[in-house]
Amino acid sequence: MNMNKNWHQQHYESLPFGGRVADAVAKGMGSWRFIILQTVFVIIWMGLNLVAYFKHWDAYPFILLNLVFSTQAAYAAPIIMMAQNRQNERDRIQAQEDYNTNKEAKLEIEALAKKLNSIEVDKLDKIIRILEKIE
């Protein structure tokens, strides 16, 4: 494991090409940019087909457009599910890393508490010796 990279970078680099593509597609399709572009596309498609004087390649009720969206959905759904599965895996890895960090921090805090306690005991012992000498 390369210690210069965090686990996010290591996880991303370990993904196969298909995993990276699925993540990119899910990220793109889950954006406002995609929604706006798709809305513009639909408006243009319908507009061109409604105002075309003699050649309607997809006349109302826009069956070809419906087929395009059905095909898009048929591919998008499993791709998005693959990306969600990878997100779940990343979340599990993150939770395990957080747990390991918390365990290490707990051990360090306990060691510091013991050290502080021993320092306090040493100080108290010195104070008692000084008081005994004064008496």
Domain positions in the chain are 14-134
pLDDT score at 8:
67
Q: Is the pLDDT of residue 96 over 90?
A: yes
d(CA 112, CA 89): 35
Identify the residue with better confidence: 50 or 66. 66
pLDDT score at 44:
92
DSSP per residue over the chain, as a string? --TTS-HHHHHHHHS-HHHHHHHHHHHHHTSHHHHHHHHHHHHHHHHHHHH-SS--TT-TTTHHHHHHHHHHHHHHHHHHHHHHHHHHHHHHHHHHHHHHHHHHHHHHHHHHHHHHHHHHHHHHHHHHHHHHHH-
Per-residue pLDDT band for 2 (boundaries 50, 70, 90) equals: low
pLDDT score at 102:
96
Which of 23-27, 31-35, 47-51, 53-57 shows the lowest mean pLDDT across its residues?
53-57
Identify the residue with better confidence: 6 or 65. 65
Q: Is the pLDDT of residue 53 over 70?
A: no
Stretch 54-83: mean pLDDT: 89
Q: Is the pLDDT of residue 91 over 60?
A: yes
Q: Is the pLDDT of residue 1 over 60?
A: no
